[in-house]
Amino acid sequence: MHNSPSKLLAFSSISLKALIFALIFSVVGCSTNSVTGESQLSLVPKAQQIQMGEQNYGPSQQQQGGEYKVDPNLSAYVTSVGDRLAAFSTNALPYEFVVLNNDVPNAWALPGGKIAINRGLLVLLDDEAQLAAVLGHEIIHAAAEHGATQMTNAQLIGAGLALGTIALGDNQNAQLIGAGAAIGAQAYQAHYGRTQELQSDFYGMDLMVKAGYEPQAAVELQETFVKLSQGQSSDMVNRLFASHPPSQERVDKNRAKAAKLASGKRNRSEFQKAIAQIKRDLPAYEKNQQALQALAKKDFNSALQLTEQALKQQGDEALFYITKGQILAAQKDTKNAELAFKRAVEKNPNYFMGYLGLGLTQFSANNLSAAKSSLERSLNLMPTQIAVYRMGQIEEGAGNLTTALKYYEYAAASGGDIGAEAQAKLQKLQSAPAAN
């Protein structure tokens, strides 16, 4: 007796669902949230959360401008405020705080307590209490395991998809190594829901008060975000509000909570002193943004003039030299582009973009030994598809075909135009007759 295709399909569907649920309930664990005291679903143990945060903290910073270096005292100041708040966290994590060299007004937390705030957000704040509102909010995201909760949901969905792929006999490789420029180091930044945002606001204000700060600052912070979101369509604002959606509800709830809490310090003069350098340099960063826009339009002369103006205002900013190098490289002025990228590396030797630009420029000039060294330095900080592809070409040219194949495979897996070129290289090398 033969089963009909429809019956087999129905049976497969029921079996698949049973298998999914069996898998889910075999790995699901429950834990008590140290912030809310509630039981929660968790697939990610605390030790694993800490490990994930540590592994992704550096690459996440690299993807978003790197650490702000012009005024190192600013990071030390932000860390001191963060440590003051974290001391009252109900979840003992290895908290870390960093200021990123990024114009977007944003802050984020990775699982395990790794927290970042952008230069672009600091300039919108008025005092230390508002900074405490930002950092307290992010501390609660980490302490309440909000990122881990999002990961748990993703894993449950992913389990079903993976099983579905197996059942359908699809043996295509869906695990692409990164997308766009970056490979394998995408920052895990959850898009938090309403409940998680309200929780972080609520308990973050408790942290503020325990640390002695004025809770009204949390109200002002949300008012600022609501104003920014109104009538705005820029990519910067959209990126901020994708992960931290503002609402009048959050303003109102913060206001009601603040009314019940003790007043505290604002420390406005200390905060203004700490951010004085980035406020002075705001016109230079605006010039750099304008230069990048002109470069995108291939208006190279205007782009170069704007970059020179930015460098005249702040000559210690590596980002400005990187922009200058990109402009000169686009003009095929490889000699001066190389000099600009070298200056960027001198100003910030811990940021991958300087090495990447330098390596690509040296490759264009056929200085392959120097290019290999620079590209390797960039890859150690932040793997990128273009650097991997160029390394494949360098190794192929040197006759190291086994190594070249590995680079091409890595680059091909990320797709896009470069991925297609890498795939063509792979096919060519793999079909070539072996040498006697």
Residue 321 clears pLDDT 80, i.e. is over it: yes
Reported as a pLDDT band with limits 50, 70 and 90, residue 431 is confident
Same domain, 219 and 133: yes
Domains in the chain, number: 2
- Whether 242 maps to a domain, the answer reads yes
Average confidence (pLDDT) over 327-338:
97
3-state helix, strand, coil in the chain (%, to 5): 65, 5, 30
Answering whether pTM is above 0.75, one says yes
Residue 4 clears pLDDT 70, i.e. is over it: no
Residue 312 clears pLDDT 50, i.e. is over it: yes
Give every CB contact of residue 333 below 8 A, 6+ residues apart in sequence: none
From 195-199, 240-244, 255-259, the region with the lowest mean pLDDT: 240-244
Same domain, 318 and 397: yes
Please identify, among 257, 274, 291, the residue that sits at the C-terminal boundary of a domain: 274
Average confidence (pLDDT) over 97-115:
94
Please identify, among 274, 293, 327, the residue that sits at the C-terminal boundary of a domain: 274
- Whether 100 maps to a domain, the answer reads yes
- Whether 2 maps to a domain, the answer reads no
Beta strands in 76-231 (DSSP E): 96-100, 107-110, 114-118
pLDDT value of position 42: 64
- Whether 92 maps to a domain, the answer reads yes
Structure tokens at 15: 């079996």
Average confidence (pLDDT) over 355-364:
98
Same domain, 151 and 200: yes
pLDDT value of position 166: 29
- Whether 403 maps to a domain, the answer reads yes
- From the list 46, 393, 131, the residue with the least C-alpha distance to 385 is 393
Average confidence (pLDDT) over 196-212:
94
- The mean predicted confidence, pLDDT, of the chain is 83
Residue 190 clears pLDDT 90, i.e. is over it: no
Structure tokens at 25: 């309930």
Please identify, among 274, 290, 324, the residue that sits at the C-terminal boundary of a domain: 274
Q: Tell me the C-alpha distance between 371 and 389, whole Å.
A: 12
Same domain, 268 and 286: no
